[in-house]
């Protein structure tokens, strides 16, 4: 069971993500980011790469795709809030996106 991030962990691990383009979701303990790619196929390649890693992590994003845009929200359902798994997945998502943007 993933534990909710402590205040210290939020300061240390969440802050770099928020500085790098992620934002706190309103109304829930989650982070969100929108990515705009050059085409639908690039957006889908991004989603495919993230999906494979998410499955390996057993930790999955909540996301919405329309054409070249992908909106991603990360939170841990098991603890109804942000856990270290969300931090790890966000970092992976940024690595995948940086290769496609
Ligand atoms: N993904 N975001 C998220 N949060 C979870 O709690 C979660 C998940 N993927 C799989 C998963 N939990 C399973 O470990 C549990 O449903 C058993």
Compute mean pLDDT per 10 residues along the chain, 101 residues long, and list them.
93 96 98 98 98 98 98 98 98 97 92
**Domain positions in the chain:** 7-100
ipTM: 0.94
Measured in angstroms, how far is the CA atom of residue 63 from the centroid of ligand 1? 14
Whole-angstrom Cα distance, residue 25 to residue 97?
Answer: 20
Q: Show the tokens assigned to 25.
A: 């979701």
pLDDT at 1: 74
pLDDT at 12: 96
Whole-angstrom Cα distance, residue 59 to residue 36?
Answer: 23
Measured in angstroms, how far is the CA atom of residue 88 from the centroid of ligand 1? 14
pLDDT at 83: 98
Which residue's CA lies nearest to atom 8 of ligand 1? 59
Scanning the structure block, which residue is given the tokens 């500085």?
19
Select from 49, 17, 50 the least CA-distant residue to 33: 17
Question: CATH classification of 7-100, choosing from 3.90.226.10, 3.90.180.10, 3.30.460.80, 3.30.1360.20?
Answer: 3.30.1360.20
pLDDT at 67: 98
């Amino acid at each position: 069971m993933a534990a909710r991030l402590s205040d210290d962990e939020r300061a240390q691990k969440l802050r770099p993500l928020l500085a790098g383009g992620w934002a706190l979701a309103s109304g829930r303990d989650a982070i969100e980011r929108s990515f705009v790619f050059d085409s639908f196929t690039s957006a889908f390649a991004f989603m495919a790469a993230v999906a494979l890693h998410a499955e390996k992590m057993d930790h999955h994003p909540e996301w919405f795709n329309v054409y070249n845009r992908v909106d991603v929200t990360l939170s841990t359902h098991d603890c109804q809030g942000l856990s270290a798994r969300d931090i790890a997945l966000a970092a992976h998502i940024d690595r995948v996106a940086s290769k496609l943007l």
